[in-house]
Each structure stands twice: as C-alpha cells, then as structure tokens.
Amino acid sequence: MPTAVSLFSGCGGSDDGLRAAGFDVLMANDVLAYARDLYTENFGGTEYVLKDIRQIKHFPSADLLIGCYPCQGFSQAGVRQPDRNINFLYREFVRALRLIKPKAFVVENVSGMVREDNFHLFQNQVVRFRTSGYRVRSAILDARHFGVAQERRRLFFVGIRSDLGETYEFPHPTHRLPGEEPSSLPQCPTIKDAIGDLPAWPEGEIDVQPFHWYYLSRNRYRGWDEQSKTIVASSRHAPLHPSSPKLLRVHTDKWIFESDAPARRISYREAARLQGFGDLRFPETQGIASRYRVIGNAVPPPVFKAVAAALPDVW
Ligand SMILES: C[S@@+](CC[C@H](N)C(=O)[O-])C[C@H]1O[C@@H](n2cnc3c(N)ncnc32)[C@H](O)[C@@H]1O
C-alpha cells in the first residue's frame, strides 16, 4: 500500500479520500484542536501531530505528500489580502516536499488563487514545485462532477517527481451537471439525495443567530432538487436549508424571505453530508461553531479520492 504524509489536514476530508484511493496515511498535522478531535474520533490509525507546521522539523518518509494550506487571503469568503502571512504557508509545504522527496504530491486550494491579484503567488508556487524536482499540473475541479451535492470549485496542483518520467492527467468527471449535454454519466446527486433522510429541525446542531444584512446580501437558498451552494467555514454564513422559504431579490445586494415560514441554516451534520463525508461522530470537546468550521474547511473526500486515484502507478 503506498504511504502518504498529510499537512494542513483539518478534520480529514482530504485524508478520508486518500484512504479510499488506497493510501496509508502515516502522519497528519494541523493547529486546530477540534480538527484533531474530529479526525481521531472518526479516522483512526494515523499519527496526528497538533502543532504549527513551522515547528515541525522531521517528517516520516512517504510516497505521497498532500497539503491543503489555508486560503483566507485568496478566498471570496475571507478577507482578500494577498500579502497576509497566512498566504505564505505554501513555503512550509515546499520545505516538507524538499525534505521528504516523495514520488508525488497533491495540493488543494481555493480557485481565487488564479485571480489576477493573486497570480504572482500561483506562479511562485509552480516555480518552487518545479525547482524542487517535480512535473506540475494544475486544474480547477467542481465537486459536483465527482458526485458531491455541492457547488464547490477548487484549484488542485499535482506533481510527479521528474525522474519518474510520468505526467499527471486529471480525472474525468464521474457525474453530469444539470444542463450539461446528455451523456452516459449519472446526474450529480441533489440536496435531497444527500440529506433528505435527516431530521427536519435538528435542535442544537444549527447556528440560530439572526440573519443579518450581510447574510441577506446574496441568495443563500437552493431547493431540494438542486446542489448546495458552497459550504464555508463560518457557521453564520452556512446556506439555507431547502425547507426554508425562498429568497427574493429586492435590490442589488438585498434579498428578503418570500414568506414568514420558519427559515434555518443547514446544520453542521447536514454540511458534512453535503461535503461528501459519511456519517461522522462529532466529539463534544467544542461547540457548534468549531464543528461548522472544520467541516466547511474540508476537501470533499470523493474529490480527493478521484484526484489521488488518477495518480500513475509509480509506487
Ligand atoms: C483548507 S483547511 C484543510 C482542510 C483539510 N485538508 C480537510 O480536508 O479537512 C486548512 C487547514 O490549515 C490549518 N492551518 C493553518 N495554519 C496552520 C499552521 N501554521 N500549521 C498547521 N496547520 C495550519 C488550519 O487550521 C486548517 O485546518
């Protein structure tokens, strides 16, 4: 079984996909205690190092290195500040890459990285990967194409060590989106497929803060037969549950509910399902904001599985 080291592992979305693709994850790492708690509660057998990556000096040797470094500075959801320190954690990933020298690596990040104001950082990463000895490809993938009931476009870098003489090809979609040309591919699942069997109003699992003006500055609603809007880390900005009334646009950045029927955000458990996780056990060590946060930060496991399974057999 090929081995992997995972950095910026969060609660384990990427690593769950990696295991499903047949990898043994030797080490995971993050600074967030609740990410570690959720990971170790649900995915045993991996050493989880709870530490700032900058303090880790030694890594196990492995065939594959993966990392989904944070993205606040590039993200539509976060503050767009391309010069924030957090945006330079990719250098830590490259440090680990040069120490471990795995046969391949996979990185996931927000698609905003390729926007004009961040493009120098995108290019800088490519240069560092190449000068570390890897042939690098990148692509933006939409989770819906891989059977996840959520619109989530993310950038992936995949590198294969140059001496192996292989070039990576990204996986073809396994699912068809609504409106795409008919093909033999199955339709992408809907919100109903993903969460339709869960309780209608799961007390204690929903962020019930009022819907403030910023929340209502855009459409947060999707119906049962659609795919979810992107699940983000902030519980306050979780999409509406489809049982809520629809939102109507009354001004450029202003939406109102079409009726007074009860409205709610999706719960953190529903968010996990819409991210493509199986049913997770949520430890009681922290409250609901932390649960939404680590789930919203995660890579949908089916997407990571597809990317890892498409790696050439260089092991
Ligand atoms: C995009 S999330 C990773 C998601 C994860 N791969 C998953 O699929 O669940 C980025 C992670 O980087 C972690 N992080 C931020 N700064 C860090 C640091 N200095 N050292 C280690 N981890 C850090 C965050 O806590 C966050 O969990």
Cα 258 from Cα 268, distance rounded (Å):
25
Residue 262 lies in a domain: no
Indicate whether 120 belongs to any domain. Answer: yes
Whole-number Å distance between alpha carbons of 17 and 14: 5
Active site annotation includes 188: no
Tell me which residue has its CA closest to atom 12 in ligand 1: 8
Report the pLDDT value the prediction gives residue 267, as an integer from 0 to 100: 98
Can you give the pLDDT at residue 182? 80
**pLDDT at residue 17, rounded to an integer:** 98
On whether residue 288 sits in a domain, the answer given is no
Ligand 1 pocket mutation, candidates 30, 39, 40, 106, criterion most atoms within 8 A of CB? 30
Nearest CA to ligand 1 atom 10: 70
Q: Could you tell me if residue 111 is inside a domain?
A: yes
Tokens of 207: 């962020």
Which residue among 7, 31, 49, 56 has the greatest number of ligand 1 atoms within 8 angstroms of its CB, and so is best to mutate? 31
pLDDT value of residue 157:
97
On whether residue 255 sits in a domain, the answer given is: no
Catalytic residue among 11, 68, 71, 188: 71
**Protein residues whose CB sits closer than 6 Å to any atom of ligand 1:** 8-14, 29-32, 35, 52-54, 68, 70, 89, 297-299
| Cα-based distances in Å from 106 to 52, 129, 243 | 20, 11, 38
* Residues of the chain predicted below pLDDT 50: 78
User: Residue 40 domain-assigned?
Assistant: yes
- Give pLDDT tens digits for 196-226: 999 999 999 999 999 999 999 999 999 999 9
Domain that holds residue 54: 3-176+298-309
In a domain, 287, yes or no: no
pLDDT score recorded for residue 144: 98
Domain count for the chain, please give it: 1
Atom index in ligand 1 nearest the CA of residue 35 equals: 27
Asked if 19 contacts 278 with a C-beta cutoff of 8 angstroms, the reply is no
- Ligand 1 mutation pick, 8, 93, 299, max ligand atoms within 8 A of CB: 8
Query: Ligand 1 centroid to 248 CA: how many Å?
Result: 36
Distance (Å, whole) CA 307 – CA 300: 11
Domain CATH number, residue 304: 3.40.50.150
Tokens of 140: 């933006």
Residue 227 in any domain: the answer is: no
**Contact (Cβ atoms closer than 8 angstroms) between residue 141 and residue 303:** yes
